[in-house]
Structure 1
């Protein structure tokens, strides 16, 4: 197994580790600065999430640079991305840190675009990642990190960056999903 696929598998294996630190209550006094408080397990989960999210671009970059793109990598990479984001979003909903509708919008779009890509593959074409899709990913990751860190450092200035970022992620997720379907409507030939 080549290095990019190992990196992708590592991202998949980090998902339950992140969920453990997010959802399991470790009985240690939280880190507190005035009114701001965050548990150590949230900090650990966030750091692991950042590492996992950073590997998203790394595996593809290495595979393309070394010319070792594989079918396994093409399958695992988007799967790892979706598992990472969906698991954390669902965990944040469970923790009552994120509205369920935002998680549903984001996860539903991922399923829809994945379905579109599968139909395109059956038709012999590829639906490439768009610039909007890349922006969507960056904003989703930013929002997730802000929520995981209890809106740090914006909590000190009483600005709900986490909420703004979550709404921005939902809006750009919807827009990028619509963009994928409009640009690839020829793939969805319903008369067949």
Structure 2
């Protein structure tokens, strides 16, 4: 297994640790003061999520730069991304930070696009990620990180809800990129056997 794939596997291994930090009622106190306080375990979970998200860029960059792109990496990398984002969104619903319907739409889009990719793979086609898809991922990661950080540092701007705004921006790009993906690749569904 090459280094980019090891980085991707490490991202998958971090997911249960992230979930435990947010799900178990640890009593490690809180960080912050005044208008912004966050349970220490949640802050550690948020930092872990941000770190894991950054490894997505690192493994992709490293694989392309040193020509280490493998079929295993093509399978594991998007799987790790979807698992990390889905776990974070579900935990945000459990914590009461994200509306369940938004999370359902986002996760449903991921299942639908994965299904389309599987149909294409069965036909011997590889469907590349689009710029809209990359924008979708970036806005999702920013929105999730902002929610996990209890809207830090925007809570000091008179109640400006950057975290929720980014969640809805990511929802917009999730739906838009999903529609774009299906429109551009409709022939795969139409012509599949």
Q: How does 1:85-96 map to 2 (within 5 A)?
A: 85-96=85-96
Q: What displacement does 1:136 show? A: 0.3
Structure 2 partner of 1:134: 134
Report how many aligned residue pairs link the two structures: 192
Structure 1 partner of 2:170: 169
Residue by residue over 1:156-192, the C-alpha shift from the partner in whole angstroms, topping out at 9 and shown as x without a partner, is 1110111111111111100000000011111011674
**8 Å CA contact retained: 2:123, 2:192:** no
Q: What displacement does 1:69 show? A: 1.5
Q: What displacement does 1:82 show? A: 0.4
Counterpart-to-counterpart distance in 2, 1:59 and 1:191: 33
Q: What displacement does 1:62 show? A: 1.4
Q: What displacement does 1:28 show? A: 2.6
Structure 2 partner of 1:59: 59
User: Normalising by structure 1, what TM-score?
Assistant: 0.96
Counterpart-to-counterpart distance in 2, 1:91 and 1:148: 9
Q: What displacement does 1:149 show? A: 0.7
Task: Name which of structure 1's ranges 61-70 and 104-113 shifts more when overlaid on structure 2.
Answer: 61-70
Residue by residue over 1:95-147, the C-alpha shift from the partner in whole angstroms, topping out at 9 and shown as x without a partner, is 11110011111111111111111111111111101000000000000000110
Unaligned stretches of 5+ in structure 1?
A: none
Instruction: List 4+ stretches of structure 1 deviating above 4 A.
Output: none
| C-alpha RMSD over aligned residues | 1.2
Unaligned stretches of 5+ in structure 2?
A: none
Counterpart-to-counterpart distance in 2, 1:121 and 1:27: 47
Structure 2 partner of 1:7: 7
Counterpart-to-counterpart distance in 2, 1:128 and 1:191: 18
User: Normalising by structure 2, what TM-score?
Assistant: 0.96
Structure 1 partner of 2:16: 16
Counterpart-to-counterpart distance in 1, 2:183 and 2:192: 17
Structure 1 partner of 2:125: 125
